[in-house]
Structure 1
Amino acid sequence: MTRVIIVDDDLFVRTTLANELRAAGIEVPGRYASGLDAVAAIRHDRPHVALVDVVMPDPDGPATTRLLREASPRTQVLALTSLTDPKAASAMLNAGALGFLPKDLSPEAIVHAVQSARHGLAVLGGAGAGMVERRHRSDVADMLTPVERQILVMIREGSTTEEISRAVFLSQSTVKYHIAALMEKLGASNRVRLAIRAYELGL
């Protein structure tokens, strides 16, 4: 069973999200108003995913994300936000968040995002994608081959290596080679960064 903790200083948000997740069969071992409380309990909670509010009293969302990832590297963090601030989104991703989702998403979308994050898939879709600034760089996009473009688009959509392999009719090892080449070409350190670059390039 997927285990999720919620870190948000708003009691209503914590309660509503917990109820929605539990109704979908997801375990919620902890709900915290403070990032420090969440960090102190993370070894006991052993969550697969932590939903962390971006704007909280000290420590804020990015600081909380760093502390949680240091204490439990296997726990994936999704940034919860009601803002449309690209800088806030960037700060959370730089702190180690796997992605982000707006608080007004439907329960079904939130559950899907949580399950995707558990398996290491970047969550950047939906209305939340608008939080990442687009920087159209045609010169960089022109450097990509058709196969690289298709792979990059599928990474942005959260596809697995196996799904990409089937779509582009290449072996998984070849797909991994192309992903590594894309990381080097686009200056990305992981798949989350590749997804962001895909969005920036308008793909």
Structure 2
Amino acid sequence: MDHPRDDSDHSAELIRVIVVDDDRVIRAMLTDELGSAAGISLQGSYESGLDAVAALDVDRPHVALVDIAMPALDGPETTRRLRAASPQTQVLALTSLTDRHAASAMLNAGALGFLPKDLAPQAIVHAVRTARHGIAVLAGAGAGLVDRTRKPDLAGMLSPTERQILLLIREGRTTHQICREVYLSPSTVKYHVTALMEKLGATNRVTLAIRAVELGIC
């Protein structure tokens, strides 16, 4: 680990974050950005997924930033092990790649979204805060990791209300925020979200957000 954890008394109130990347320069950059951000406690910085998993009991992270391409234990397997050992930990994939297969593997392993490594510091901090609440993150060029080819046969299956709800999911809105936008009850919004998952072959809000990009609803 490159940086000590913040073990102060108020750390339990903060968003606990770890960084996992074999590139020392990227680790240093992210630890500097996150270590100085208000409301965030940098718990650990690791060059190996194995080291990060081994330290879970001590770190107890809310959010893990995990590089997609690493030797020994790659991003998808690191994500899978982190999520299996600590289901409350949300994973954001760090990437400088444009490989959709790698992106798909990260999603299947349980990642909540993607962060380009060259994203502006304030955007990275915002993404961490968003992920802490379980909201999908497709920041910057990360949205380019999904196929934007239009699928009019699927788009035509959606009602205007479903399209609006899908757009709001793509924007990372919570159920209550969606209710206020579309003037529907929480139970009705949840019904529509379930219907969208069935129609679009999605398993959660992350994959619904991906499908929104694929359909051009963004």
CA deviation vs aligned residue, 1:115-164 (integer Å, no higher than 9, x gap) = 11110000013221011112311011001000000000110111111111
Taking only the aligned residue pairs, the percentage that are identical comes to: 69
Q: Does 1:126 align with 2:140?
A: yes
3-state secondary structure, aligned to 2:92:
strand
CA contact (8 A) 1:5 1:50 kept: yes
CA contact (8 A) 2:53 2:82 kept: yes
What is aligned with 1:20?
Answer: 33
* Aligned counterparts of 1:125 and 1:197: Cα–Cα separation in 2: 15
Q: Does 1:173 align with 2:202?
A: no
Deviating above 4 A after TM superposition, structure 1's stretches of 4 or more consecutive aligned residues are none
3-state secondary structure, aligned to 1:36:
helix
3-state secondary structure, aligned to 1:24:
coil
User: What value does the CA root-mean-square deviation take over the aligned residues?
Assistant: 0.9
What is aligned with 2:154?
Answer: 140
One-letter amino acid matched to 2:76? P
CA contact (8 A) 2:116 2:139 kept: no
Q: Does 1:50 align with 2:64?
A: yes
TM-score (normalised: structure 1) = 0.98
Q: Does 1:32 align with 2:46?
A: yes
CA contact (8 A) 1:123 1:158 kept: yes
1:46-195 matches, within 5 Å, as 46-195=60-209
Cα offset, 1:169, TM superposition = 0.8
* Aligned counterparts of 2:116 and 2:98: Cα–Cα separation in 1: 9
* Aligned counterparts of 1:85 and 1:132: Cα–Cα separation in 2: 9
* Aligned counterparts of 2:102 and 2:22: Cα–Cα separation in 1: 17
* Aligned counterparts of 1:183 and 1:193: Cα–Cα separation in 2: 9
TM-score (normalised: structure 2) = 0.91
CA contact (8 A) 2:19 2:27 kept: yes
One-letter amino acid matched to 2:213? Y
CA deviation vs aligned residue, 1:160-185 (integer Å, no higher than 9, x gap) = 11111111111111111110111111
* Aligned counterparts of 2:87 and 2:105: Cα–Cα separation in 1: 18
CA contact (8 A) 2:19 2:66 kept: yes
Moved more, 123-132 or 36-45: 123-132
CA contact (8 A) 2:19 2:65 kept: yes
One-letter amino acid matched to 1:153? L
Unaligned runs of 5+ in 2: 1-13
* Aligned counterparts of 2:116 and 2:141: Cα–Cα separation in 1: 7
What is aligned with 1:5?
Answer: 18
Aligned length: 203
CA contact (8 A) 1:125 1:157 kept: no
